[in-house]
Amino acid sequence: MKISRVKDTKINSIDFENLVFGKTFTDHMFYCHYRDGKWQTPEIKPYQPLTLDPSASVLHYGQAVFEGMKAFKDTDGKLWLFRPQDNFNRINLSAKRLQIPEFPESYFFEGMKSLLKLDQDWVQSGTGNSLYVRPFVFASQPSVQASASMEYIFMIICAPVKSYYTGGEINVLIAEEYSRAANGGVGFAKAAGNYAAQFYPTSEALKKGFQQIIWTDASNHEYLEEAGTMNIFFKIKGTLVTSPTNDRILDGITRKSIISLAKQDGIPVEERPIKVSEIKEAHENGTLEEIFGTGTAVVVLPIHSFSHQNESYRLPKETPIALQLKEKLVGIQYNTGEDPFNWRQAVD
């Protein structure tokens, strides 16, 4: 790997107390080109704009996938990743679905760890502070031919972030018209276009005063599937229920971690399809106790109300299970708690 460092760091100009999620990036980036049928020697270089041919395939056909993960710094200044092998496996699973060549495991881990060590001062310690790590790959071949590109660029960029806590209530709208994913489609992949397609329905929901859309199945809008770009959990009569993963649902690493932690705490968990009518009935008879979303950016996000067919349903203010599970997960991430499943991985 070739490493070229910045002459001067820009870290001193950063206001770490007032970071806007995903807008500030560190000094360096990881870059690797695929051409002539193979991944070329990777590089770490100063964070900078790219030069792309206007016909670059990704700009026309959206052949691109990404990952979202975080690096944490403990009170001794040591850096940690959380289940990074799962992110590596998932980006290649996403890539395969988009006909993008798999990225080598050693390049991914050596590249990411070198980058993190180089930019380690950008990771602030303290709960809530972390470095959001964004690996991504896109089709760079200059060609408007509608077929898989022969050239790709794999990159990793890093953004220091603060806790996602918004302070406000999270009120969600259950989708009755639009869909995020369909059978046989790319919902399970972190494919760039999945997110572009959510922006319009989500902005319509925002205008109506909702913070998120709960996506339902594309056939009948009968089953609850995901909350925006999070997986979703319901606590009904003491049991946590979440949708099983399939080709429409993203296999979230936070989701499966929450399931393991809940089981360890003796909380019953069911992975099964959940009908909209079921949670409305549970609300009616007082057994719907909590709803929360899970994902790397938010970890666990309690939801305060949902709306369906122009009716709004409020949830109890207290969300003890969401908070209990979040605290456990965060303790593992920041190396302050036990790590019974060996999820933490040191960056060294």
Q: List residues near ligand PLP by CB under 6 A.
A: 68, 190, 226, 229-231, 250, 252-255, 294-296
| Closer by beta carbon to ligand PLP, 56 or else 261 | 261
Report, in Å, the least distance between residue 24 CB and ligand PLP.
20
Smallest gap from Cβ 38 to ligand PLP, in A, equals: 29
Distance of CA 319 to the CA centre of its chain: 22
Q: How far is the CB of 228 from ligand PLP (least distance, A)?
A: 8
Nearer to ligand PLP, 151 or 271 (CB): 271
Nearest Cα to Cα of residue 247 among 280, 218, 212, 213:
218
Q: How many helices (H) and strands (E) does the chain have?
A: 7, 20
Query: Cα–Cα distances in Å, from 188 out to 182, 195, 272?
Result: 10, 12, 17
Of 118 and 299, nearer to ligand PLP (C-beta) is 299
- Cβ closest to ligand PLP, residue 190 vs residue 326: 190
Of 26 and 243, nearer to ligand PLP (C-beta) is 243
In the numeric block, which tokens belong to residue 302? 């309690």
Measured distance CA(79)–CA(12) in Å, rounded: 21
Give the nearest distance from C-beta 69 to ligand PLP in angstroms. Answer: 8
CB of 147 to ligand PLP, least distance (A): 26
- Rounded to whole angstroms, the Cα distance separating 115 from 119 reads 6
In a 10 Å sphere around its CB, with 0-12 CB exposed, 13-18 middle and 19+ buried, how is residue 219 labelled? Answer: exposed
**CA–CA distance, 198 with 276 (Å, rounded to integer):** 20
Classify residue 138 by burial, with Cβ atoms within 10 Å: 0-12, 13-18, 19+: buried
In the complex, what is the shortest distance from the CB of residue 300 to ligand PLP, in angstroms, rounded to a whole number? Answer: 10
Complex with ligand PLP: residue 230 or 330, whichever CB lies closer: 230
